[in-house]
Structure 1
Amino acid sequence: MSRIDEDKEFVAIRIAVLTVSDTRTEQEDRSGDVLVARLTEAGHELADRKILRDERVEIANQLREWCANPDIDVVISTGGTGLTGRDVTVEAHRDVYEKEIDAFGTVFTIVSMQKIGTSAVQSRATGGVANGTYMFALPGSPGACKDAWDEILLKQLDYRHRPCNFVEILPRLDEHLRRK
């Protein structure tokens, strides 16, 4: 049973949002807007926000840049996780990951199945870690972003969430880089 431990203090983290789309502009980025609204409502800080085209190298370079920035704890991308030829966000994420969070995609599929049935098999949502930074790739629909945030990330990015959460191990993600 998971719960929020009210005896613990909330810890705000810094989150960057990347929208991957060949067609969306800032004014039309509903999925990015959903993520920004939800993360700020939860008490976290928007560290940066960008829109990039569906270009694997550009996406991977942006992910690397953000992962190298000590002022960014988490990167959430939206878009480019489907099956079409232009959907390369998952591959770009995997180009950067040091470790993949395998269960993230599985849990996202379970959540999606409750909302959209077997259409959930078309998503390749993924999560991973690089350079002490969490990265999550979500589908490009506002509904998928709401589901991922409300059902998974809201809880896992809350230090008070029990029995465990991503925030409490954040300081240890890059411990292998500090070994002598």
Structure 2
Amino acid sequence: MSSHGSNSFIPLNIAVLTVSDTRDESNDTSGQLLVERVTTAGHQLAEKAIVKDDIYQLRAIVSKWIADENVHAVISTGGTGFTLRDNTPEALMPLFDKNVEGFGEVFRAISLEEIGTSTVQSRAFGGIANQTVILCVPGSTNACRTAWDKLIKEQLDASHRPCNFVPHLNTENVNACETRG
């Protein structure tokens, strides 16, 4: 972890996970949107998967990505609501070394402008495990668009100031957070 102070964009290897009992590659519009946003932003798609909303299947795939030093970030879509089959928080939070409490808070604040008080039913959340950031958003395509465009894109961009997640990830070239002055 060297090269502190550089404001250069660093392409990350990002895995995209769709959590759904009903989606497949032909109708996974949320996962497809995230893949498009990731690659258009200049990052590399490390892997894409669709997994049933099952705690142990979720843990297995995300644990594999966390253990892979070439995966810097995981973005998951789906399973963050309140139905009996929405298990993403319960599955993934135990894997975290640190929670990113502000991720869910900021996502809900942004969503409040778009969907009103229904945003309280979003359990969007984030964490870091083994120098991999994991960001989990609702399954709707609009929620994924909001999350990427208004929050995730900047936080996975090493040139975003004053701070971003890149210095905390398993990358060769990282930038330190700047003070707020």
TM-score with structure 2 length normalisation?
A: 0.89
Offset at residue 171 of structure 1 (A)? 4.3
Question: Aligned letter for 1:52?
Answer: V
Higher helix share: 1
Provide structure 1 residue ranges, at least 5 long, that are not aligned to the other structure. Answer: 1-6, 173-180
Q: Which residue of 2 aligns with 1:164?
A: 163
After TM superposition, list the pairs within 5 Å mapping 1:135-174 onto structure 2: 135-171=134-170
Could you give the per-residue CA deviations for residues 31-51 of structure 1, whole angstroms, max 9, x where no partner exists? 001100001010000000000
Residue 75 of structure 2 aligns to a residue whose secondary structure is: strand
Long gaps (5+) in structure 2:
1-5, 172-181
SS of residue matched to 1:76: strand
Aligned residues: 166
1:118 aligns with 117
Cα offsets for 1:15-36 (capped at 9, x unmatched): 0000000010101000001100
Amino acid of the structure 2 residue aligned with 1:25:
D
Does structure 1 conserve the Cα–Cα contact (< 8 Å) formed by 2:30 and 2:141?
Answer: yes
Normalised to the residue count of structure 1, the TM-score between the two structures is 0.90
C-alpha RMSD of matched pairs (Å): 1.2
Distance in 2, Cα, partners of 1:145 & 1:53:
18
Runs of 4+ in structure 1 over 4 Å off:
none
**Residues 59-112 of structure 1: CA distance to partner in whole angstroms, max 9, x if unpaired?**
011111000001100011100000000000111111211111001000000010
Q: Structure 2 matches for 1:22-101, cutoff 5 A?
A: 22-101=21-100
* Identical-pair percentage: 49
Alpha-carbon offset, residue 168 of structure 1: 2.5
Instruction: Give the letter aligned to residue 46 of structure 1.
Output: L
Instruction: For residues 139-176 of structure 1, give each alpha carbon's deviation from its aligned partner in whole angstroms, at most 9, with x where no partner exists.
Output: 0000000000011111011100011111133249xxxx
What CA distance in whole angstroms lies between the structure 2 residues aligned with 1:107 and 1:157?
15
Matched with 2:176 is none
